[in-house]
Amino acid sequence: MRHRVSHRKLGRTSEHRKALLRNLCTSLIIEEGVTTTLAKAKELRPFAERAITLARHGNAAETPERGLSCRRLAAGYFIGGHGQVRFREHKKEPVRTFERTGGVRALKKLFDEVAPRFATRPGGYTRITKLGWRKGDGAPMAKIELIPAPVEKKAAETAPKKGGLFSRKKKPEA
């Protein structure tokens, strides 16, 4: 029996499992979709949704301190985000470029784009679609993706239609 067993081990140690989920969560936020095995997708769903909820709370915070706290807590759901300074030759002078790693880009995208999209949604930010079995080992594959923003209907589309194929035409009043 599996009483009080909350998560899958995925055949990994706890450190390896946490690193795997952080990498998948970073890719999910940056690419807005990841293809992986079904078991990993099912484990990633609550992990990623907690990060999105933290971003929602951080954006809606009354004080800047609370927003910063949520941002720092959400950073723990992504891979280490250190910037990299790269040198390249350009017109006889070395030019320094600063590239952000995946964790920093994911955190910025989470708070700037993803959290405002789900500001009014109480949960369920991801969708898992089963894709069949992998050819090599027969593992069930799935795609986990962020749900797109809801499309608002125009007033003309929501208004009831007048007439129709079998509707009776009103006679003009004399």
The reported pLDDT for the residue numbered 159 is 60
Rounded Cα distance between 7 and 125, Å, is: 20
Domains of the chain: 14-149 (3.90.1030.10)
The reported pLDDT for the residue numbered 101 is 81
The reported pLDDT for the residue numbered 17 is 94
The reported pLDDT for the residue numbered 127 is 96
Collapsed DSSP state (helix, strand, coil) of residue 161: coil
Instruction: Single out the residue of 127, 18, 80, 48 nearest to residue 10, CA to CA.
Output: 18
Distant-in-sequence, close-in-space partners of 133: CB < 8 Å, separation ≥ 6: 139, 140, 141
Rounded Cα distance between 162 and 57, Å, is: 44
Strand 93-99 vs strand 126-133: parallel, antiparallel, or unpaired? unpaired
Rounded Cα distance between 119 and 111, Å, is: 11
The reported pLDDT for the residue numbered 143 is 97
Rounded Cα distance between 166 and 169, Å, is: 9
The one-character DSSP state at 95 is E
Rounded Cα distance between 73 and 53, Å, is: 11
The reported pLDDT for the residue numbered 33 is 94
pLDDT tens by residue, the chain, 174 residues? 889 888 889 889 999 999 999 999 999 999 999 999 999 999 999 999 999 999 999 999 999 999 999 999 999 999 876 656 666 666 666 666 666 788 889 999 999 999 999 999 989 999 999 999 999 999 999 999 999 877 776 665 666 666 666 666 666 676
Angstrom CA distances, 2 to 6, 8, 44, 111, stand at 9, 11, 20, 37
The reported pLDDT for the residue numbered 102 is 81
User: How many other β-carbons are positioned within 10 Å of the β-carbon of residue 66?
Assistant: 13
Angstrom CA distances, 21 to 15, 36, 116, 150, 167, stand at 10, 11, 23, 27, 57
The reported pLDDT for the residue numbered 114 is 94
The reported pLDDT for the residue numbered 165 is 62
The reported pLDDT for the residue numbered 89 is 63
